[in-house]
Amino acid sequence: MVKKAIIPAAGYGTRNLPITKVLPKEMMPICGRPAIDYIIDEAIKSGIEEVLIVVSRSKNMILDYYDHCPELENHLEACGKHHLLKKLELPKVHIQYVRQPYARGLGDAILLGKQFVGNEPFAVMLPDEIILTEPKPALRQLIDLYNLQKGNILGLKKVDRKFLHKYGVVEPESRKDGFIKISDVIEKPDSSPPSDLAVIGRYVLEPAIFQLLEQIPTGKGGEIQLTDAIRRMLSDAPCYGVNILGTRFDIATLPDYVKLINQICGPSAAADE
């Protein structure tokens, strides 16, 4: 059973500058809630019981958000504003934190969760990709496949080929019953991508991935790439892909950010944000 999830949230958020100079991209408001709250909600609805958020020293706002605020709670209680107290209730999931001292890539961030994960399969959820689905959450779609086909499970979406250089891209070996067996995966291919299926921000991984992350050299951008470790595991363990049913929004891009707000709150809400 997949009960643990890692949320990497230590990046600089350069695609969202200048606001991310002072506001973590994970805390960007979406209809009165920070973006990361939608990821936590998806995790809970997918059956996750423990979450590790990987932060940097500039992301203390995330820790503060998922903590009690006695002064505010006491004020609302004294004023009889009990309906607002409900808005301050913390999510029903155990949240831990670890700091990533240097931004050395997604693989390095995941490696910091080795002790947290132990010898269990675990999920990885990228907080800048929010996926609206009904009725089954995106991560739950991956977990359901893992329960049927043990191995690494990658969330996939078809992406216009001119944008594939921004993603990890898989090479399908075979397709069956709504999932894909993967024969190769390439991080940000410079040319001739093997398909139009990009890896998006949801994974279910076997704990053996940590041994590979400790061994692989730096990859694209001088970073430790999670995709490179997954690729090395292909010779020893199967890897499958799920074409996630739902609408994906990359909130690091302004058009997607505005579309997401419109989708959740209505067209007038985008201006208010």
- pLDDT above 70: residue 272: no
pLDDT band at 219 (very low <50, low <70, confident <90, very high): confident
Going by pLDDT thresholds of 50, 70 and 90, the confidence category of residue 103 is confident
Q: How far is CA 160 from the centre of its chain?
A: 21
Mean pLDDT for the stretch of residues 87-112: 93
Query: pTM for this one?
Result: 0.93
> Which 8-state DSSP code applies to residue 16?
G
218, HSE (Cβ side, Cα atoms, 13 Å): 7
Q: For position 116, what pLDDT does the model report?
A: 97
pLDDT of residue 166: 85
Phi, then psi, of 96 in degrees rounded to 5: -120, 170
Whether the pLDDT of residue 273 is over 60: the answer is: no
User: What percent of the chain has pLDDT above 90?
Assistant: 73
Least trusted range by pLDDT, from 99-103, 110-114, 202-206: 99-103
Q: Find the domain containing 199 and state its range.
A: 4-272
Give, in order, the Cα–Cα distances in Å from 162 to each of 170, 188, 225: 15, 12, 22
* 224-244 pLDDT per residue, tens: 989 999 999 998 889 999 999
Tokens 């800048």: give the residue: 128
Residue 225 tokens, joined:
């790439």
Question: Cα separations (Å) of 121 from 69, 113, 259?
Answer: 34, 12, 33
Q: Is the CB of residue 11 less than 8 Å from the CB of residue 201?
A: no
Q: How many domains does the chain have?
A: 1
- The CA distance from 78 to 170, in Å, is 56
Q: Are 127 and 200 in contact (CB under 8 A)?
A: no
**Per-residue model confidence (pLDDT) at position 271:** 52
Whole-number Å distance between alpha carbons of 94 and 4: 10
What is the structure's pLDDT at 194?
87
Helices 138-148 + 35-45 axis angle, to 10: 30
pLDDT at 268 over 70: no
Checking if the pLDDT of 13 tops 90, the result is: no
> How many percent of the chain have pLDDT more than 70?
97
Question: What separation in angstroms does the CA of 105 have from each of 41, 101, 206, 261?
Answer: 25, 11, 19, 29
Residues 122-135 have a mean pLDDT of 94
Task: Supply the CATH number for residue 238's domain.
Answer: 3.90.550.10
Average pLDDT, whole number, for the chain? 91
Question: Greater confidence, 52 or 190?
Answer: 52
CA atoms within 13 A on the CB side of 109: 25
Give residue 141's pLDDT: 96
SS3 of residue 78 by DSSP: helix
The widest CA-to-CA distance across the chain, in whole angstroms, is 64
